[in-house]
């Protein structure tokens, strides 16, 4: 997917040039007012950039150099907004049938599979006002996908939900990674959502894409941490190795192992972990007299200033081929006392690990 847009408004200009994967979830992340939704509207054809180009799956939807512009209704896309926007006078079934009719899917192909995919069999005869917020969003996603789109756009679909409803819908959104063969653009300003759902990450700031790349690599860059402020951290993809007798689950990944509280996952299951930089401390030697279970040898790769006064961010490389990077946020005083600098061998002590599943 290629997207190039330049569009100027009074006091704000969107100017992006993106090459994105043709499959998987691309998160568009940034603060409120940075241009995330404007970018999505350009992709949807709801805004026309005077200088614009958009190609999805090899099909060109916009090329202003040739005066080519497909309006929204001629673009093969599904859109899910913050509010589900279901037709209030129609049942769930009728809302879904509307999506199928829009795509010319009169035979109902994929209908039952979509019900299974999003767990909404039991909701078919209900009216939208009898659904929870999470249920409404699942129905809205199903309706969008039943149009057989070549691209799915999601504009902060969890923003209007409380914590309980977010937890209800997140497992279904995670399946977008593995089971959809189309690209998904997912706009969010919530770092934990991005860490859990995305494969690729685009950072937007003041109308420009400051970074675009695979999620794991991009989150570990020290030069981009101003975008995350206190939420700086990395994602590690691991495998459940074993459940141990003291109610701990051991995870393994290239470069080491991690212990987390018991998780109901079968050995061999793939999981994602998020480790906040503020939960990583550094030492020069390993200690046996500590309550911290997750202790890993590492090599300092880079040191960078942060927006937090008197603190620095340290990028660490774990040993072994294919091992991930870690980030640690420590005080400048600690950096000086330990003589932390690129090439230094240290011990990373991880105080907490968030299992994103």
* pLDDT, tens only, 10-69: 999 999 999 999 999 999 999 888 999 999 999 999 999 999 999 999 999 999 999 999
pLDDT recorded at residue 45: 96
pLDDT reported for residue 77: 93
Token pair recorded at residue 333: 């005083």
Provide the 8-state DSSP code for 33. T
| pLDDT band (50, 70, 90) for residue 2 | very high
Segment 305-321 mean pLDDT: 89
Q: What is the mean pLDDT of residues 289-296?
A: 87
- Where do the CATH 2.40.50.100 domains begin and end in the chain? 233-355
List Cβ<8 Å contacts ≥24 apart for 247-251.
248/293, 251/355
Rounded to two decimals, the pTM is: 0.90
Query: How far is it, in rounded angstroms, from Cα 154 to Cα 160?
Result: 13
Structure tokens at 111: 């209908």
Q: How far apart are the first and last CA of the chain?
A: 28
Question: Which pLDDT score, from 0 to 100, does residue 231 have?
Answer: 82
Q: How many CB atoms are located within 10 Å of the residue 332 CB?
A: 15
What is the arithmetic mean of pLDDT over 177-198?
90
- With cut-offs at 50, 70 and 90, classify the pLDDT of residue 317: very high
pLDDT surpassing 90 at residue 189: no
Look over the chain and give the mean of its residue pLDDT values, rounded to a whole number.
Answer: 91
pLDDT tens column, 135-151: 999 999 999 998 889 99
All CATH 3.40.50.300 domain ranges of the chain, comma separated, are 2-221
Tell me: pLDDT of 106 over 70.
no
Whether residue 83 is predicted with pLDDT greater than 70 in this model: the reply is yes
Lowest mean pLDDT among 91-100, 177-186, 286-295: 286-295
Residue 257 region, left (φ>0) first, then alpha (ψ -120 to 50), else beta? beta
The CATH number assigned to the domain with range 2-221 reads 3.40.50.300
Residue 324 per-residue DSSP state: P
Helix axes 92-102 and 133-145, enclosed angle (nearest 10): 20
Which pLDDT band holds residue 80 (cuts at 50, 70, 90)?
very high
Using the predicted structure, report yes or no on whether residue 319 has a pLDDT greater than 70.
yes
DSSP string, 138-202: HHHHHHHHTT--SEEEEESTTTTS-HHHHHHHHHHHHHHHHH-SSEEEEEES-HHHHHHH-SEEE
Domain covering 233-355 assigned CATH 2.40.50.100 in the classification? yes
pLDDT digits (tens, 9 = 90+) for 248-275: 999 999 989 999 988 888 999 999 999 9
């Amino acid at each position: 997917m290629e997207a190039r847009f330049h569009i100027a408004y009074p006091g704000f200009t969107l100017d992006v040039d993106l090459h994105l994967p043709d499959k998987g979830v691309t998160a568009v992340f940034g603060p409120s007012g940075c241009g995330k939704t404007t970018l999505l509207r350009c992709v949807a054809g709801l805004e026309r950039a005077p200088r614009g180009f958009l190609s999805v799956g090899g099909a060109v939807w916009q090329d202003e150099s040739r005066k080519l512009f497909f309006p929204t209704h001629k673009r093969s896309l599904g859109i899910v907004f913050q509010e589900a926007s279901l037709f209030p006078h129609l049942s769930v079934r009728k809302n879904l049938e509307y999506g199928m009719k829009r795509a010319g899917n009169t035979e109902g192909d994929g209908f039952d599979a979509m019900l299974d995919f999003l767990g909404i069999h039991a909701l078919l005869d209900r009216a939208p006002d009898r659904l929870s917020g999470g249920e409404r969003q699942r129905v809205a996603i199903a309706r969008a996908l039943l149009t057989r789109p070549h691209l799915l756009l999601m504009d902060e679909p969890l923003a209007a939900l409380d914590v309980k409803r977010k937890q209800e819908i997140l497992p279904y959104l995670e399946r977008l990674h593995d089971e959809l063969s189309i690209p998904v653009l997912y706009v969010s300003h919530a770092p934990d959502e991005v860490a859990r759902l995305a494969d690729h990450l685009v950072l937007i700031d003041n109308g420009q894409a400051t970074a675009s790349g695979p999620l794991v690599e991009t989150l570990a860059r020290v030069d981009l941490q101003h975008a995350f402020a206190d939420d700086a951290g990395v994602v590690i993809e691991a495998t459940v190795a074993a459940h141990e007798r003291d109610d701990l689950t051991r995870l393994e990944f290239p470069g080491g192992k991690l212990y987390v509280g018991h998780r109901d996952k079968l050995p061999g299951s793939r999981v994602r972990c998020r480790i906040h930089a503020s939960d990583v401390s550094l030492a020069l030697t390993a200690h046996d007299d500590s309550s911290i279970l997750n202790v890993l040898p590492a090599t300092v790769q880079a040191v960078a200033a942060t927006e937090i006064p008197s603190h620095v961010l340290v990028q660490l490389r774990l040993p072994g081929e294919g091992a991930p990077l870690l980030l640690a946020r420590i005080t400048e005083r600690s950096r000086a006392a330990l003589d932390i600098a690129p090439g230094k061998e240290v011990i990373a002590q991880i105080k907490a690990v968030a299992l994103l599943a």
